[in-house]
Amino acid sequence: MKITRAEVEHVARLARLELSAEEAEIFTGQMDAILAYVDKLNELDTTGITPTSHAVPVENAFRADEERPSIGTDNAMANAPDRVDGFFRVPKVIE
């Protein structure tokens, strides 16, 4: 086994993803098969190989720090599920 049901449930908590018991069961089997497959990368000796994060080298992209028009609060909040007075409203964080 590459991954256990308990590990799958732990990862789901890290990912902020509520899984049903059935989903956790199915994902355990499927992730196990996929992780067993990706293990084939260990056939390759990659000592001293530089990791590639972007195929085309990209330097930090800077621009002048100048004021520009923005989309504004109303536009930025138009899709919010719940808002009040220019704030996003969420369930109580601290009891």
Partner 1 sequence: MELYELTIHELHEKLKKREVSSVEATRAFLDRIESVDPRVNAFITVTADEALKAAEEADRRIAAGETTILTGIPVALKDIFLTQGVRTTCASRILDTFIPPYDATSWVKLKERGAVLVGKLNQDEFAMGSSCESSAFGPTRNPWNLECIPGGSSGGSAAAIAAREATATLGTDTGGSIRQPASHCGCVGLKPTYGRVSRYGVIAYASSLDQVGPMTRDVADCAIMLGAVAGYDPLDSTSIDRPVPDYTASLGPEVTGLKIGLPKEYFIAGLDPDVKKTLDAAIDTYKRLGAEFVEISLPHTDYAVATYYLIATAEASSNLARYDGVRFGHRAKEAAGLIDMFARSRAEGFGAEVKRRIMLGTYALSSGYYDAYYLKAQRVRTLIMHDFLQAFATVDVILTPVAPTPAFRIGEKVNDPLQMYLSDIFTIPVNLAGTCGISVPAGMSGDGLPIGLQLVGRPFGEEAILRAAYAFEQATEWHKQKAQL
Provide the binding-site residues for partner 1, judged by CB under 8 A: 3, 7-8, 11-20, 23, 27, 30-31, 33-35, 37-38, 40-44, 46, 49-56, 58, 61, 63, 71, 75-82, 88, 90-93, 95
Could you tell me the smallest distance in angstroms from the CB atom of residue 95 to partner 1?
A: 8
Least distance from partner 1 to the Cβ atom of residue 84, Å: 13
- CA 64 vs. chain centroid, Å, equals 30
Strand, helix or coil at 6?
helix
Q: How far is the CB of 85 from partner 1 (least distance, A)?
A: 16
Q: Where are the alpha helices (DSSP H) in the chain?
A: 5-14, 21-38, 72-77
Residue 2 near residue 32, CB atoms below 8 Å: yes
